[in-house]
């Protein structure tokens, strides 16, 4: 994977040049690829996922992509649902997530292939979006819990351990940011605001956050059992 930048007007795009350039090296990406209206106009929206900002599933040639806009949560969203304070493109949430995802992907860790990130400046603020390759047939762990056996839950724990060994502090580790593909492989998504760190208390904090997520999805006794199995796999 080779990341490169492309700028037009007030918009900057960080993209995977190894897959989004033609034979002579010309980038095959434009700002309109981040515009939901563009995809709807060409009837290439396959569906959408729920969330703070609606993510679209897109048909992109032989691949399916996920287009995810950045949206604020909490009380601040009432003032500005999709704008963030500008401090440079490289410090934007989109560029940082793109680079982190690419780094983990290059290490062979189970994250979606990042395609491109876009930031558009509006004076002192910016808005952003991210495109990744969709994982065919993958479902959120939250939607698989009723049928998840101990082997799957332990695989979740082992996967989290791999990321922790690589230093990834996932600040929103929950049952919807862990995906299960048709072969029962576990994937980690949504690395917004995540970072690489030295071992510390954050590892336990990640697991505690996931435990709270399980208790929201399951009856207490079943959630406790699932937590124990994940911890067993984590080691």
What is the full per-residue pLDDT of the chain (235 aa) written as tens digits? 899 999 999 999 999 998 876 656 666 788 899 999 999 999 999 998 866 558 999 999 889 999 999 988 765 556 678 899 999 999 999 999 999 999 999 999 999 999 999 999 999 999 999 999 999 999 999 999 999 999 999 999 999 999 999 999 999 999 999 999 999 999 999 999 999 999 999 999 999 999 999 999 999 999 999 999 999 999 9
CATH classification number, 139-234, choose in 1.10.510.10, 2.40.370.10, 3.60.20.10, 1.10.3210.10: 1.10.510.10
Which residue carries 């208790």 as its tokens? Answer: 215
Dihedral (CA of 105, 107, 108, 110) sign: negative
CA separation, residue 52 to residues 74, 202, 207 (Å): 10, 24, 23
> Which residues, other chains included, contact 102 with Cβ-Cβ below 8 Å and sequence gap of 6+?
1, 3, 16, 114
Give the residue extent of every domain in the chain: 3-133, 139-234
User: In this predicted structure, what is the pLDDT of residue 28?
Assistant: 77
pTM over 0.85: yes
Catalytic residue among 172, 181, 190, 192: 172
Which one, of 64, 70, 122, 124, lies nearest residue 98 by Cα? 70
CB 229 within 8 A of CB 157: yes
Largest CA distance in the chain: 59
Q: Is 221 one of the annotated active-site residues of the chain?
A: no
Q: 159-186 burial, b if ≥16 CB within 10 A, otherwise e?
A: bbbbbbeeebbbeebbbbbbbbeeeeeb
CB atoms within 10 A of CB 34: 25
Q: Over the range 54-71, which residues count as b (16 or more CB within 10 Å of their CB) and which as e?
A: ebbbbebeeebbbbbbbe
What DSSP element (H or E) covers 82?
Answer: none
pLDDT at 79: 67
Under 8 Å between Cβ of 198 and 206 = no
């Amino acid at each position: 994977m080779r990341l490169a930048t492309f700028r037009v007007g007030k918009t900057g795009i960080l993209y995977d040049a190894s897959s989004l350039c033609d034979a002579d090296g010309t980038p095959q990406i434009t700002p309109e690829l981040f515009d939901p209206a563009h995809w709807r106009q060409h009837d290439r929206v396959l569906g959408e996922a729920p969330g703070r900002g609606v993510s679209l599933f897109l048909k992109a040639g032989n691949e399916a992509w996920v287009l995810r806009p950045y949206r604020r949560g909490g009380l601040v969203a009432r003032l500005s649902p999709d704008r963030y304070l500008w401090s440079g493109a490289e410090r934007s949430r989109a560029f940082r997530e793109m680079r982190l995802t690419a780094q983990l992907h290059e290490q062979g860790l189970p994250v979606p292939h990042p395609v491109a990130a876009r930031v558009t400046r509006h004076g002192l603020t910016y808005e952003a979006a991210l495109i990744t390759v969709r994982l065919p047939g993958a479902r959120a762990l939250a939607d698989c819990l009723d049928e998840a056996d101990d082997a799957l839950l332990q695989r979740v724990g082992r996967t989290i351990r791999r990321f922790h060994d690589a230093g990834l502090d996932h600040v929103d580790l929950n049952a919807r940011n862990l995906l299960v593909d048709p072969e029962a492989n576990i994937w980690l998504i949504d690395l917004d605001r995540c970072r690489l760190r030295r071992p510390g208390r954050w590892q336990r904090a990640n697991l505690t956050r996931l435990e709270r997520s399980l208790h929201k999805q399951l009856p207490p006794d079943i959630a406790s059992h699932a937590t124990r199995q994940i911890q067993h796999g984590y080691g």
